[in-house]
Amino acid sequence: MSLSKVAICSLVAMALCGPAATARAEDKSPVEGFHPIVVAGADPTRTPPTVDKTRLGTTRANFRTNYFQEASPLRLERKVTFAGKAAPLIFFWLGVAMALACTAGMAKPILQKKKVHGLLLGKPRAFSPITVLIMLLLFSSIFIAVGALLGRGHTRPMVFDSSQRWFWKGSDLADAQAKNSDDDLWAVPFENIYGVQIIRGRSSGDKSYWYYELNLVCWDGRRIGLSSHSNGKSTLNDAQQISRFLSAPTLTP
């Protein structure tokens, strides 16, 4: 059994994943007139914080993954787009399918203790089937990990609730408060929020694109990532909507 035949599942998966991984960015150039309106000023009696203008590091995508929507007059929630839901599932299940296919393909060589033949640095080599299977499973795990990372970053609920005057990540305020730490804020009361920040940057690589990161800025200077994707107009709309909801300023690039 040749190594090339064993790796067919990997090649097919990469071909299927191509459209998702190289999808056209929705907004590859800066949005013209990217100057959000300051709908309200911060508390003039308090000293404004020193705001970090570097990228926070929120999971980024070259398509719109999230948007904020008013669930009620007292509640603003982060919603997930169809692409934001589909991309993690595609990567995750492709990884699982690759792992299963590779395991099935290598079962016979392993049971018969046959070497798997292939090329290494242009020269024919014979490989242990267990070694080949481990390498293929590691390759499959990359897809699974990417799916899990995208799912964690893009599908987690976020809520602004003016009846409780709290913002939190996750489905429950009490759980979010319990997860709070100095380095990772999960919940913050409205009075601790200074404003909404937009950061614009460009990804690296041959297929680079403009991305727009949306963050909450607290009065103590700490920030909370809300979204990061290539749709600048959607990010601008979200920033203005949150600013109006909180009566807080929008901080532009």
Is the distance from CB of 150 to CB of 60 less than 8 angstroms?
Answer: no
Q: Is 244 helix (H, G, I), strand (E, B) or coil?
A: helix
Other CB atoms closer than 10 Å to residue 9's CB: what's the count? 22
| Chain segment 38-91, per-residue pLDDT in tens | 545 566 778 888 899 898 877 778 788 899 999 999 999 999 888 888 888 888
What pLDDT is recorded for position 234? 92
Between 44 and 12, the more confident residue is 44
Chain centre distance of CA 77: 17
| Chain segment 141-194, per-residue pLDDT in tens | 998 888 887 777 678 899 999 999 999 999 899 999 999 998 889 999 999 999
**Can you tell me the distance from the alpha carbon of 206 to that of 62, in angstroms, rounded to the nearest whole number?**
13
Nearest to 61, CA basis, from 80, 34, 36: 80
Nearest to 190, CA basis, from 216, 209, 213, 153: 216
Between 229 and 61, the more confident residue is 229
What pLDDT is recorded for position 23? 40
For 200, the token pair is 């614009």
What pLDDT is recorded for position 223? 95
Residues 6+ apart with CB under 8 A from 3: 116, 117, 118, 119, 127, 132
What pLDDT is recorded for position 251? 87
Burial 102-119 (b: 16+ CB within 10 A, else e): beebbeebeeeeeebebe
Is the distance from CB of 222 to CB of 169 less than 8 angstroms?
Answer: no
